[in-house]
Chains A and B, each alone.
Chain A
Amino acid sequence: KAGVTQTPRYLIKTRGQQVTLSCSPISGHRSVSWYQQTPGQGLQFLFEYFSETQRNKGNFPGRFSGRQFSNSRSEMNVSTLELGDSALYLCASSLTGESYEQYFGPGTRLTVT
């Protein structure tokens, strides 16, 4: 079974731009969660989607948004990029979101200049 895939793997953007990251969950998994990882703050939960609905949300500004499609693939968008948005963005999939195990993708490394 293929694992969680994320595209692109690396991205360089300029302040003020927007960016869209993509995540394809493991086949059959309906929950997708997104995390931001920075050296200073560690791994922080952004939001979770299940059946195309956002069910849970972390403490991030409205510039961070996401969506999920009917095939469970998910995208997250960051608008008006700031230097502090430079991070590794990870997505994780699980069967239901209430599952014990989450399976993480390799992440997208975003650099904002």
Chain B
Amino acid sequence: DAKTTQPPSMDCAEGRAANLPCNHSTISGNEYVYWYRQIHSQGPQYIIHGLKNNETNEMASLIITEDRKSSTLILPHATLRDTAVYYCIVRVYGSSNTGKLIFGQGTTLQVKP
């Protein structure tokens, strides 16, 4: 699986959009980009995933660059409850990688009032 690079920490004002970048310059064509987050003392929570098109769900939007070497997770209106560590993961979907996620160090997002 390709490696990812994320900034160690970011701040965001409550109510504003939080834009979390991720670099995955060695991503291959069949690797998906996943985002999870971990709120303090809880298990990680799935947020969103994508292959090459931009994706949106009730939690967030995922913007993947055309060359797929980087992506941005967007939380449109950050709240204090969004304070967490956000992990960007690149993973091949399929039987070669069953049940396995490789977590990096992630980005600690601090949402401030």
* A44 closest partner in B (C-beta): B103
Closest 9 CB pairs of A and B: A48-B99, A104-B43, A97-B98, A43-B103, A33-B99, A97-B99, A101-B46, A45-B100, A55-B98
In the complex, which residues 21-36 of chain A have their Cβ closer than 8 Å to any Cβ of chain B?
A: 31-33, 35
19 A-B contacts (beta carbon < 8 Å):
A31-B99, A35-B103, A42-B103, A42-B105, A43-B44, A43-B101, A43-B103, A48-B98, A50-B98, A55-B99, A58-B100, A92-B43, A92-B101, A102-B101, A103-B46, A104-B43, A104-B45, A106-B43, A107-B42
Binary CB contact string for chain A from 85 to 110 against chain B (1 if under 8 A, 0 otherwise): 00000101010111011111111000
Interface residues of B (CB under 8 A from A): 32, 34, 42-46, 49, 87, 93-95, 97-106
Number of A-B pairs, beta carbon distance below 8 Å: 71
* A47 closest partner in B (C-beta): B99
Inter-chain contacts of A49 with B (CB < 8 A): 99
Inter-chain contacts of B32 with A (CB < 8 A): 100
Give the CA-CA distance A42 to B4 in the complex, in Å. 15
A98 touches B93 (CB 8 A): yes
B43 touches A50 (CB 8 A): no
